Amino acid sequence: MNSIIEFMLESAVVNSIPIFFAAGIIALIGGPLLKKAGIGTYFRGLIYSVIGVSAGVWSYTVFDIPGRGIELLEFATLTVGMLLYSLVIIMPIVAIKNRAKT
């Protein structure tokens, strides 16, 4: 069990740059559109996190394991680990930024 948690943490931290870069770009471009559409703060944070996780998984498959496919259990573990990691960092940023603007 410890090796799974270590794998989740390591892969999330190593792929932090693509996770937060993609989430930041989407927040800058799509944030105002999502606000106008009436989407709530926490749902916007979830959308940014999911897009960041997809970029992180893409980065993992392209750079960390080139030449082989990703297995289902590996994909599920990566997705859960990266989603938790990005939610812990992105949600407070979105909530504080929303609180500061209102």
**Per-residue pLDDT reduced to its tens digit, 13-55:** 999 999 999 999 999 999 999 989 999 889 999 999 999 999 9
Give the position of tokens 């989430």: 23
**CA pair distance 95, 44, nearest whole angstrom:** 10
Residue 102: pLDDT band (50, 70, 90) is: low
Q: With CA atoms as reference, report the closest residue to 84 among 49, 43, 40, 48.
A: 49
Indicate the SS3 state at residue 65. Answer: coil
> pTM (2 decimals)?
0.85
Which residue ranges make up each domain of the chain? 2-101
Residue 64: pLDDT band (50, 70, 90) is: confident
**CA pair distance 4, 37, nearest whole angstrom:** 39
**CA pair distance 54, 79, nearest whole angstrom:** 8
**CA pair distance 13, 69, nearest whole angstrom:** 21
Report whether pLDDT(66) > 80.
no
**CA pair distance 52, 3, nearest whole angstrom:** 24
